[in-house]
Structure 1
Amino acid sequence: MPLQSYASHTQEIEAFGLGYPTGRGERDQAVLGSWRRCIDHHRLDPAQTCEAYIVPESQLRIHQDESESLIRIARSGLERLYQQLKGLDYVLLLADRHGVAVDFLGHQAQAADLRHAGLYLGAEWREDRAGTSAVGACLATGEALVVHQSDHFDFTHTQLSCTAAPIYDLRGELAAVLDLSLLKSPAERASQNLALNLVVAAARRVELANLMAQSRNDWVLRFSQSPDFLDVDPDAAISIDARGRIRATTHAGARALVAAAGLEWRKRPSLIGQPLEHFFDFDLAHLPQLRRNRPAQERIVRARDGNILFAHAMEPQRAPARSLTISAPQPLPPALGTLTAGDPAMNALLHKAARLAPQSLPVLVQGETGAGKEFLARALHAASGREGAFIAINCAAIPEALLESELFGYLPGSWTGGASKGRQGLIEAAHGGTLFLDEIGDMPVGLQAKLLRVLSESQVTPVGAHGPRHVDLRVVSASHRALATLVEAGQFRQDLLYRLNAAELHLPPLRQRQDLAAMLDRLLADLGGYHLDEPARAALLAHRWPGNLRELSNVLRYAVALCHEPDAADPGGAQVIALSHLPDALQSASAGDAQDTPATPPLSAPHAAARTESADPEALAQLLAQCQGNVSEVARLLGVNRSTVHRRIQRMLGQRQVHWGDGG
């Protein structure tokens, strides 16, 4: 390593961090912005060098599976670009949204050098990991850029010249980065101008191919500034559904829409779902006039900002009807299968979890309080095949002063009041198993740095120890708070977030699940085979469940505790939970619903007489007997809601025993 070059590079970045001008006035603003993030946000030291990091093969497979469809679509464009640059020693990387290279094209004869430099499959180029690089800076800014030689923050990478462009998904979110790099290049930064144009054009074509592949049933509108290139290489594209609303867009298409509506790019609202006429002076009915059967020069459209564009409308592809063979999904592992009773969204999440379970990849579980995050973490451990223990710790429940010793353990005599023999930390106790960090968002920032070291190096140093100890564990973390928001507020380290959410699972709240009724029956069966009468079931199904599964479990346990009367058994012997057994808040809400429900009018005069007599317990009992205990029939005869009949029956239970059911 040339000492002077290393020293001058380090000194320039350190001086820049202190507010002094850089030694090279031509530094690009994108590069300087990345340096600032590396210093202020990621807390990187320019004097500390780090070799390129290649993720383990098992982790790479997870990243590739997540980006499978994009890799397949982009591959043709990558090969085309690689052939254009044949003989110039360029390397092509496709990095996912986490900065991991999921596809790669380069000379296999240089494989060892490329791997050492990080220009290889599985290389991780996020800013918090590698400092300023084209991939990392592109992910941070969303813009195409060049990071040339000494532009790199880490001196290890200053031999490289890297050019990158973002690839956006159909909803306008940054999905991947296309990177074109050289191990060795001319000293002049301008030598990469052609590479920048080529990689931007390639990324645009990948986005267009992705939109076309996923918009076969929609109108696709392609734009160009020039009619000569409209049908062969358009600048942008959007897709429009049958109602004339935006369904998808390329990045250039999104920028065109934003400009047409006079919006600010960085603060734009969602474009998806907006009517076409919000952006142009035509609507869905005008699209057939823009098909290719007319000359390109005549297919002129005007945007709302007055800009003139040439457009090519492609009508939906009507695929011929054919029989499809749909393979049944693989059964869930038993531990995961118990977490659903048939909800489609939950089933999809659990099948994803089943694929992640055998991996060592850190998993972040997000969801509202009580949604079952720890249950999912335990199920992941049970399905992982790991022989070690499942160790759970609630980062919000342990005082900050004790959290470090609980996590890392301590040696004898490390601090006053500690156990005389010391204590093994929870991280070390999870060796060979799973460490579950609940409410990770409440972990103190100082401890976050130490946890990051554990995750990156698989080592833990107890309090008072002079050296680290190796640990083999799988980390599952959870939070009901959006960790990205905490990062923006400076309350959570971004580099730790990237480490924790290599795989992310979002648990749906209970109110959005379609399997609540089935879950009620399953939970009651687990509690001893209890049944719900209709008013109780209706009240439970109508409740919003802000506390999710935890609240549901507590409510059912409360109801079971109150459901002990001998006369509460149905003919089959199972105990019946009535509305009166539920907590007062649910009863009150049900009563309010009953008052808002219009009463069914009586059918005849005898029924009206029965209504006037129904306040009398003896008359109500007689009517129940006449209807053979059918509460629905009694409610219909009285012209009241069934919950009203149930409340009157409950008031009557203390006066005489009445055996009734809720058939029909």
Structure 2
Amino acid sequence: MVSHSEHIREIERVSRGLPVRRDETVVKSWLRCLEHHRLDPAQSCEAYIVPETRLREHRQQSEDLIAIARSGLENLFRQVAGQNYVLLLSDREGVTVEFLGDPLFGNSLRKAGLYLGSEWSEWRAGTCAVGACLETGEALTIHQTDHFDNTHTPLSCTAAPIYDIQGELSAVLDISLLSSPILKASQNLALHLVSATVRRIELANLMAQARNQWVLRFSRSPEFLDVDPEAAISIDGLGRIAGMTHAGAKILARSTGLDWRDPQQLIGEPVSRFFDIEVDNLSDLTRRRPTRERLVFARDGNALFAHAIEPHSKVRAPLVSREQIPPALRRLGGDAPVIAALQAKAAKLARTRLPILIQGETGTGKEHLARAIHEGSGLEGPFVAINCAAIPEQLIESELFGYLPGAFTGASAKGRKGLIEQADGGTLFLDEIGDMPLALQSRLLRVLAEGEVLPVGGTAPRKVRIRIVSASHRPLQTLVSQGAFREDLYYRLNAATLTLPALRDRPDFDWVLEQLLKRHGDGELILSPAALSALKAHDWPGNIRELDNVIGVAAALAENGVVELGDLPDQLLANADTVGGNEASATLSLTLTACNWNISEAARRLGLDRSTVHRQIKRYRLKPHRH
């Protein structure tokens, strides 16, 4: 057994950069404890149990996760029955919110911190499995003297991270022993079991939250695909990644050389970016086909067996006719089913006073949708818009809430009515709400809850009656999980959510293009075939705003009202494969006809993958001939 003084000397060797016989994970954690957390290895620290009121708060915030995880925890506890293991489920702050252990050892477990309410963050407890797992995002074992604090060196703890469907670390599952064999390898089975349990908890969470989306589950072995898959992703109706398990995130990231630690690079991207499939192909991967035939290829060449589960409900056709949709909303899109359904939903919500959250990439038209909702609401007050990302932080408070005369240095002698009060009787549009400072989020929450606003420097609140529409290009749920956005405000703002598709995903791209040509060319601007092909080949990262700018410049450069290829910006020409476009279109059309429009067979004959064939069909607007 290593003595306390020997343990301290070993940690001191690490602090001087000298080699020790420890895993790299342990060495890095010791260094964090010394350099970042400023912990003293000579100062023993008893396990910390949070007060009962704080524990209740942590458990309430984690109740959904606890409900989903409970079955997996109980199953794992049965698997290790009789071996004196204790199971801890900790939240992202390291506080134990669920616990399973032998009640006969209750006092010993509580003293050791293996108990409900114990806090195992690294800054509090030093090197430990939960804290190191939260820091690294990886499954690991901290065995006996791996622990930084001498109080914890009798313990052997193994932990694995639980990620939410947006790819953010949300909890940790730990399995621990009060005493264990000396060899660290004795915990290899525990590491395998806890990792498998976490994988199943993440899958259950994804399935619960993706009932109305496609779910694609993966396995390297066809025998386990339908019963115990290794990874899963969810896909929305437009074919974009909507959610993922941790293993699913790693598959996506590996397929395109991205970093799974940056999930924003993965969420919202088309599934065809990662696999040789489109959303239209998912029905080929359901249980209607034998397991061994359900094979997909990732973009890095990795082959996986896949099981697609259909949405519980699909996009419904609107229950109102297009003529019943307010004109302002009709002007925002064509008559493609997905767009029509969005317009119909917005039209119904416009007539209520419910707060609406609009999500979508920058440039997709979030403010245009907000204005259309206001116009269709029947409210007599004004539409007041504020961009929370564009106003300096020190001015947002006075801009939103106004101020009394002399409230601060430089204030107007007459005071000023804030934007919230200006919107009284109408709609307040908060664009990029995700960039609002946390302190102001608390004040906004009060406005929404109590219907009154307090100007800077004031003591008497003023009643206001406003309808809130907010928007963000960042997923607010992810910001909530990161602690950057108040959860209570999030639920106040998104009574209903409207998601605007990116321009590259819009089925009414031609309609959008036609409207912009009319606006910039007085109805007389047309595109040459080469220019049209270039526009359709572009990915449009700036969405409608970028397309609007491109058409505006092209209209100014075009001769005789015809936009040629040379009138387009260079970045569009670099990606355009317009040379020989007519020949390519003809070749593709002939091949599809010869294959009776079997996409897979046509792709094989042309030497292309199916997603490329689908893109070219869309680009050249090809359709099967009807006989």
Instruction: State yes or no: 1:143 paired with 2:174.
Output: no
2:8 pairs, out of 7, 10, 26, with: 10
1:270 shift after superposition: 2.9
Equivalent AA in structure 2 for residue 42 of structure 1 = H
Q: CA distance change for structure 1 residues 219 and 505 in 2, over 3 Å: closer, same or farther? A: farther
Query: Structure 1 residues 505 and 55 mapped into 2: Cα distance closer, same or farther (>3 Å)?
Result: farther
Tell me if structure 1 keeps the 8 A contact 2:397–2:440. no
Match of 1:180 in 2: 175
Q: CA deviation at 1:226?
A: 0.7
1:404 corresponds in structure 2 to none
Determine whether 1:79 maps to 2:74: yes
Change (3 A) 1:6 1:513: closer
Percent identity of equivalent pairs: 56
- 1:569 corresponds in structure 2 to none
Where does residue 246 of structure 1 map in the other structure?
A: 241
- Structure-2 separation of matches of 1:268 and 1:215: 18
1:266 Cα deviation (Å)?
3.8
Q: Residue 59 and residue 99 in structure 1: after superposition, are their counterparts in 2 closer, same or farther (change >3 A)?
A: same
Q: Which residue of 2 aligns with 1:605?
A: none
TM-score (norm 2): 0.53
Residue of structure 2 in register with 1:20 after alignment = 18
TM-score (norm 1): 0.50
Deviation at 1:314, TM superposition (A): 0.3
Would you say the 8 A contact 2:168–2:263 is kept in 1?
no
* Cα distance in 1, alignment partners of residues 463 and 110 from structure 2: 62
Question: Could you say if the C-alpha distance between residues 318 and 505 of structure 1 is closer, same or farther in structure 2, counting changes exceeding 3 Å?
Answer: farther
1: CA distance between counterparts of 2:172 and 2:104?
Answer: 25
> Is 1:99 matched with 2:94?
yes
Q: Tell me the distance in 2 between the aligned counterparts of 1:267 and 1:170.
A: 13
Alignment of 1:507 with 2:441, yes or no, is yes
Q: Are the structure 2 counterparts of residues 54 and 243 from structure 1 closer, same or farther at C-alpha, using a change threshold of 3 Å?
A: same
Distance in 2 between the 1:246 and 1:371 partners?
34
- Partner residue, 2:331: none
Q: What number of residue pairs does the alignment pair up?
A: 361
What are the equivalent positions in structure 2 for 1:390-401 lying under 5 Å apart? none
Question: Which amino acid is the alignment partner of residue 21 of structure 1?
Answer: P
Question: Shift in Å at residue 267 of structure 1?
Answer: 4.9
Judge conservation of contact 1:371–1:509 (CA < 8 Å) in 2. Answer: no
Partner of 1:261: 256
Whether the 8 Å CA contact 1:343–1:514 is kept in 2: the answer is: no
Q: Report the Cα offset of residue 273 of structure 1.
A: 1.0
Output the amino acid matched with 1:92. Answer: L
Distance 2:282 2:84 in 1: 45
Q: Distance in 2 between matches of 1:48 and 1:113?
A: 21
| Alignment root-mean-square deviation, CA | 3.7
- Structure 1's 527 and 56: CA in aligned 2 closer, same or farther, altered over 3 A? closer
Deviations 1:547-580 (A, max 9, x none): xxxxxxxxxxxxxxxxxxxxxxxxxxxxxxxxxx
Deviations 1:626-646 (A, max 9, x none): xxxxxxxxxxxxxxxxxxxxx
Q: What are the within-5 Å matches in structure 2 for residues 59-78 of structure 1?
A: 59-78=54-73
What is the CA-CA distance between 1:265 and the residue it aligns to? 3.4
State the one-letter code of the partner of 1:64: R
1:122 aligns with 2:120: no
**What is aligned with 1:201?**
196
The structural deviation recorded for 1:88 is 0.3
Larger radius of gyration: 1
Q: Contact conserved, 2:271 with 2:277, CA < 8 A, in 1?
A: yes
1:169-568 alignment, distance < 5 Å: 169-267=164-262, 269-318=264-313, 344=355, 368-369=393-394, 507=441
2:53 maps to 1:58: yes
Q: Point out where structure 2 has 5 or more consecutive residues left out of the alignment.
A: 317-352, 358-391, 402-433, 470-627
Cα distance between partner residues in 2 of 1:72 and 1:240: 24
C-alpha change, 1:345 and 1:188, in structure 2 (3 Å) is farther
Please report how far the alpha carbon of residue 28 of structure 1 lies from its aligned counterpart in structure 2 after TM superposition: 1.0
Pair 1:313–1:72, CA change in 2 (3 A) = same
One-letter amino acid of the counterpart of residue 285, structure 1: D
Does the 8 Å contact 1:171/1:272 carry over to 2?
Answer: yes
Q: Which amino acid aligns with 1:94?
A: L
**1:257 and 1:106 mapped to 2: Cα distance?**
37
CA offsets, 1:176-222, max 9 Å, x none? 00000000100000000000000000000000000001111111000
Unaligned runs of 5+ in 1: 322-341, 347-366, 377-479, 484-503, 532-536, 542-664
Which digits, 9 at most, give the CA deviation of each residue in 1:359-384, with x for residues without a partner? xxxxxxxx9446669x99xxxxxxxx
Alpha-carbon spacing, 1:244–1:94, altered in 2? closer, same or farther (3 Å): same
Partner of 1:429: none
Q: Deviations over 1:311-338 (max 9, x none)?
A: 000001139x9xxxxxxxxxxxxxxxxx
Q: Whole-Å Cα distance in 2 between the matches of residues 194 and 529 of structure 1?
A: 63
Report the residue type matching 2:302 in the other structure.
N
